[in-house]
Amino acid sequence: MPAKQTNALINNPNAADLTEVAIYRRAIRANLDRVWENVLDWAHLPWLHESSFDYVELDEAGDWGWRTWSNAEHSGTIELCVDRANNRYVTRTYEEALQVAEIWTELEDQGEATNIRVSFLLANIRDEGKDKIGKIMLDAYTQLWDEDEAMMMQRQIRLDEPIINDGILNLGPIQNLKLPMTVRLGNKNWRLLDLDGELFVQAADCPHLRGPLEDALHKTGEIKCPWHGYRFNVDSGECVSPVEANCKLPTAPTIDYRENGTVSLIRSAT
């Protein structure tokens, strides 16, 4: 099914009373592929942008973009439609079928970076409220893009790394370890923790889209990725939620305690 909005890729197809309240420009430190990937990834909204989206439920998604419900009553929707040929997309929000906003984002390929220009058009805004709502939109988008940029940059670093699966990492005297800490072995990050006085090692790269698990809380044997909220059992590596996810944490390195009091991590190619 295509977008619900007819003529979605033209300006103001509903002839709403729209006012441009602000324009946001920024150079995003991620390439165009990462940015498009992020734009189409509706599933990260309630996790990475938890403070901005309190309810997100998928209605439909396709090559054209996606549409989500904004509340459990299904009275509000957000529909994002992409215009790949022109490197732009539009996001419209609706309440009770009435259009509330139309936000156009233009993307400009800059190699390792992507320039964005966002135009915020809101319905039924009085002149005296324009600057205030414009500032709110700019602040909100600054935060959203800060959060997205950080994830895209980390994903790109991980994607660019050479594939090295095995190796030994000598960590030195065990009493000198500053836990918790993150180390690299193979081309993966590993988190070293003190769990009830025992040294414990777990994956710090999410197997879904390589989100960062360094700061994921280790709780009752599980960790949760901040990007899309996937939860993993740290012992088996299995994805606990969502159950349909087809990914698993990599096998953690073995901890090798030496007689001289030093400790190493050993990882064999799998």
Q: Is 141 in the site for ligand FES (CB under 6 A)?
A: no
Task: Single out the residue of 22, 254, 39, 226 nearest to residue 130, CA to CA.
Answer: 22
Q: How far is the CB of 57 from ligand FES (least distance, A)?
A: 18
232 is written with which tokens? Answer: 């993993």
* φ, ψ (nearest 5 deg) of residue 175: -70, -15
# binding residues, ligand FES (CB under 6 A):
8
CA distance between the termini of the chain: 42
Output 156 or 262, the one with its CB closest to ligand FES.
156
Give residue 153's region: left, alpha or beta (phi > 0; psi -120 to 50): alpha
Output 99 or 189, the one with its CB closest to ligand FES.
189
Q: How far is the CB of 21 from ligand FES (least distance, A)?
A: 33
Output 123 or 225, the one with its CB closest to ligand FES.
225
Q: How far is the CB of 19 from ligand FES (least distance, A)?
A: 37
257 is written with which tokens? Answer: 């305690």
List the beta bridge partners of residue 159: none
Q: How far is the CB of 164 from ligand FES (least distance, A)?
A: 21
CA 259 to the chain's CA centroid: 43
Element (H, E) at 170: strand 167-173
Q: How far is the CB of 65 from ligand FES (least distance, A)?
A: 20
Output 21 or 213, the one with its CB closest to ligand FES.
213
Output 104 or 232, the one with its CB closest to ligand FES.
232
Residues 195-254 that bind ligand FES (CB under 6 A): 206, 208-209, 211, 225, 227-228, 230
- 20: exposed, middle or buried (C-beta count within 10 Å: 0-12, 13-18, 19+)? middle
Distances (CA, A) of 222 to 9, 99, 200, 239: 43, 41, 13, 9
Question: Are residues 159 and 262 in contact, defined by beta-carbon separation less than 8 angstroms?
Answer: no
Output 30 or 209, the one with its CB closest to ligand FES.
209
Q: How far is the CB of 187 from ligand FES (least distance, A)?
A: 17
Which residues bind to ligand FES, rule: CB under 6 A? 206, 208-209, 211, 225, 227-228, 230
